[in-house]
């Protein structure tokens, strides 16, 4: 006969599992099917606020650790070099495959592009990193007990979120980006560094001319 503690742990794991699936797969699917009509950014910010409140009351979560700017030796250089290499390859791909889109926003809509470069980190990159890295990794440790399982779930869920844009390019790019950001989070435990890396790639995508793949409608 199972003890009350074991029964409680099983029930808690079940509830967390259902919550996990609802937030990271159910909500994007509802949005994709048109069952949720809240604009994307307000919905993202609202969910991020809820996650922030939950983490605030989680005694096992320490914001000072998440705000860590210190990297293991060589990690800063790795992030920069990786961005330069991957960014150059992406730029070349856009130039060859979508020549009519290449640098379209900075050249033809400069004011909006500059505004986007400023607001993107605050209203998109940070909320996503808070939800898909900090919240996911700390809230669901009981369900995703192996760090590699956590990493795989984070990457897939992050890419799945972008089904709302209804194109495969958004899925592919965020699958790759999700891997990079999750790996950085695992290596450093810093949401600011993952937000910085997310911002670098996100701003690059809009700069190069792939922004239309990340619009709704």
pLDDT tens-digit series, residues 32-66: 999 988 899 999 999 999 999 999 999 888 887 78
Q: Read off the pLDDT band of 6 (50, 70, 90).
A: confident
Closest CA to 47 of 124, 142, 117, 154: 124
8 A C-beta contact, residue 112 and residue 203: no
8 A C-beta contact, residue 45 and residue 128: no
Higher pLDDT, 142 or 22: 22
Question: Can you give the pLDDT at residue 53?
Answer: 95
Q: Read off the pLDDT band of 1 (50, 70, 90).
A: low
Domain membership of residue 93 as a residue range: 4-214
Quote the CA–CA distance of 97 and 114 in Å, as a whole number: 25
Q: Which of 68-72, 130-134, 161-165 has the lowest mean pLDDT?
A: 68-72
Question: Can you give the pLDDT at residue 120?
Answer: 97
Structural domain count of the chain: 1
Distance of alpha carbon 17 from the chain centroid: 20
Return mean pLDDT, the chain: 92
pTM, to two decimals: 0.93
Average pLDDT over residues 93-119: 96
Question: Can you give the pLDDT at residue 184?
Answer: 93
DSSP 8-state symbol, 102 = T
8 A C-beta contact, residue 206 and residue 101: no
Those residues with Cβ within 8 angstroms of residue 18's Cβ, 6 or more apart along the chain or in another chain: none
Higher pLDDT, 59 or 119: 119
Closest CA to 129 of 52, 65, 53, 69: 52
Average pLDDT over residues 139-145: 91
pLDDT digits (tens, 9 = 90+) for 145-192: 888 999 999 999 999 999 999 999 999 999 999 999 999 999 888 898
Has residue 84 got a pLDDT over 60? yes
């Amino acid at each position: 006969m199972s003890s009350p503690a074991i029964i409680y742990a099983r029930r808690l794991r079940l509830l967390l599992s259902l919550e996990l699936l609802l937030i990271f797969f159910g909500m994007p699917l509802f949005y994709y099917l048109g069952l949720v009509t809240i604009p994307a950014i307000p919905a993202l910010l609202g969910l991020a606020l809820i996650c922030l409140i939950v983490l605030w009351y989680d005694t096992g979560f320490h914001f000072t650790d998440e705000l860590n700017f210190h990297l293991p030796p060589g990690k800063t250089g790795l992030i920069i070099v990786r961005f330069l290499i991957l960014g150059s390859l992406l730029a070349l791909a856009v130039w060859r495959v979508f020549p009519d889109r290449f640098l379209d926003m900075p050249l033809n809509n400069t004011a909006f592009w500059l505004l986007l470069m400023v607001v993107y980190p605050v209203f998109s990159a940070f909320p996503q990193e808070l939800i898909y890295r900090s919240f996911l990794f700390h809230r669901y440790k009981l369900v995703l007990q192996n760090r590699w399982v956590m990493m795989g779930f984070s990457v897939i869920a992050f890419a799945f979120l972008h089904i709302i844009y209804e194109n495969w390019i958004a899925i592919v790019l965020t699958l790759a980006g999700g891997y990079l950001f999750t790996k950085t989070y695992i290596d450093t435990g810093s949401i600011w560094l993952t937000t910085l890396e997310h911002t670098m790639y996100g701003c690059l995508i809009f700069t190069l001319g792939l922004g239309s793949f990340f619009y709704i409608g």
